[in-house]
Amino acid sequence: MLASLGLGAILIILGLAWVLLGIWAFRPPTPGLGRWVAFLLWLGVSAMLGYLFYTEVLDKNPNPAKVAVASVLTSDKMINLIEIVPGLYDLDYIHRIDTDWEDEGEDEEDLEARREWVALYQYDVELASWGPMGPFGGAIYDHDDCRPPAILSYELVPVSYDYLAEQSILFTKADDPRSDIQVANIIQYRDPLSMKNGDPQDRPEVIIFGRARGVRTDLNIFRKVGVELTCIDRQQWQAAHPGEAFPNPLRYQNVGSFRGSHLVALNGSTVTVFDRGGFERSQLLVRRQYRPEDGSYFVPGTQVLLEPVEYSIVFAVEPDQVTEVYYPEKAVLAFYLNLGKDEANLEEARGYLSDEAQRIYDMETNPFGLSMAPDSVARARDNLARVLVWEIQYVPDVNAEQLHQDRQVTVTVVGVNEQGQIDYEHPCRVTWTVIGVPKQGAIPFGCEWRLQDYVSECMGAPAPKEDSP
């Protein structure tokens, strides 16, 4: 009763204010239509400027005000997940996404009914002046079709109960590839644990990237698993187990969990993880690629990742002028990353050789230390499409480098053919002599690092010995 009286008083006051402002605005002389439209536009622009100043310049969060207004407008009758989930600090932590692609509601075109709530929360939080600091967890909230409907929760649990993100998870909209939360059927897999009308279901994957330092460093992939009980089955179970929590047979299973100290990327179903070494002056990365088997990136029955399908060392940032940089080992790595069948890449690789090496080594036919064994699947050079560098070794010596002295760089390399087959049976250990060729203006030591000659030792059948220049 008191609430109704209060609302009535507010409506009377607002109505009187509307009438008085209208009389004042339209008092003689009445402004023309153009001036009235301009006044309305001015009000709109003023509101936009005020909002942008508040949110962007003052860096204020408008969501508390939105929640307060929504609570007043709905008489505090809407369910607010912020009040339910500990560590859910903001509306920006809640996203509406269709996470299972199932038909829900009476109208199959009712997108609102088909969308679930993805809620992110933080734990082990330090409340800093700029906001809460702590790792992110997540859960999915959905409703069933029973009467009355129940809201069901599904925790998104990574391997070893790990976190989803260290610092942030960005989201714009569900179909935006820039969003860190995506739903896509990247793994074609009919799950025998997810039957419907006697057929296994191929459900989509819920893909969640996590960021640190603004870069994607975490990736967790989930899939809805299980057979949903009918409402009758559920009611019968609850009647037989009064007071007990209902054991929902559905869950979102973690089918892949990845973390890279530098970057994690996803292309189709192929996950690429880039890791930095503890100390690496040349900004080199270890690159590992993973692909799923039988619907998962884990060894069956475990939470251990499958072995990577490809492993190599690559540049974090490849300089435009590799030969003129501080470190001779970069020239060796760049040479092998360009060695293959592409003519443009071969021409670039030629530029890493010294003038004498270019005269002696034929860029089209020389194996450059790679295996020429008859049983090699990527026999150099007729079957060779590209090269993986598995290991690189060198001894830093600033004084020797400043004096342009010859340096030794050793790499372990293996070939890959055009079908993507890796010559695991014949890795080769190649040691290059890298020379400093004087060049005026070259940074930092006034020289270019060029590959002079090499010696190679391969597993399996020995490769033909090459004459050194």
Provide the CATH number for the domain around residue 346.
3.10.450
My answer on whether 108 and 225 are in the same domain is yes
Give the pLDDT confidence score for residue 6 in this predicted structure. Answer: 67
Residue 68 has pLDDT above 60, yes or no: yes
Residue 469's pLDDT band (boundaries 50, 70, 90)? Answer: very low
Among the ranges 148-152, 199-203, 457-461, which has the highest mean pLDDT value?
Answer: 199-203
Q: How many CB atoms neighbour CB 334 within 10 A?
A: 22
Boundary (domain end) residue, out of 263, 284, 310: 263
Boundary (domain end) residue, out of 23, 49, 78: 78
My answer on whether 133 and 240 are in the same domain is yes
Q: How far is CA 355 from the centre of its chain?
A: 43
My answer on whether 49 and 113 are in the same domain is no
- Looking at the domain assignment, is residue 145 inside a domain? yes
- Looking at the domain assignment, is residue 288 inside a domain? no
My answer on whether 160 and 224 are in the same domain is yes
- Looking at the domain assignment, is residue 200 inside a domain? yes
* Mean pLDDT (whole number) for 2-8: 59
Q: How far apart are CA 447 and CA 318, in angstroms?
A: 18
Give the pLDDT confidence score for residue 107 in this predicted structure. Answer: 54
My answer on whether 71 and 126 are in the same domain is no
- Looking at the domain assignment, is residue 379 inside a domain? yes
* Mean pLDDT (whole number) for 377-404: 95
8 Å CB contact between 306 and 290: yes
Boundary (domain end) residue, out of 56, 78, 100: 78
- Looking at the domain assignment, is residue 66 inside a domain? yes
My answer on whether 61 and 173 are in the same domain is no
Asked which of 123-132, 140-149, 177-186, 296-305 is least confident by mean pLDDT, the reply is 123-132
My answer on whether 420 and 451 are in the same domain is yes
- Looking at the domain assignment, is residue 336 inside a domain? yes
Give the pLDDT confidence score for residue 423 in this predicted structure. Answer: 97
- Looking at the domain assignment, is residue 290 inside a domain? no
* Mean pLDDT (whole number) for 411-430: 97
- Looking at the domain assignment, is residue 272 inside a domain? no
Residue of 468 and 446 predicted with greater confidence: 446
My answer on whether 122 and 201 are in the same domain is yes
* Mean pLDDT (whole number) for 236-253: 88
Predicted model pTM = 0.83
- Structural domain including 355 reads 322-458
Asked which of 56-65, 158-167, 219-228, 406-415 is least confident by mean pLDDT, the reply is 56-65
My answer on whether 112 and 61 are in the same domain is no
What total number of domains does the chain contain?
Answer: 3
Q: Residues near 383 by Cβ (< 8 Å), separated by ≥ 6?
A: 376, 377, 415, 417, 418
My answer on whether 130 and 257 are in the same domain is yes
My answer on whether 43 and 147 are in the same domain is no
My answer on whether 379 and 425 are in the same domain is yes
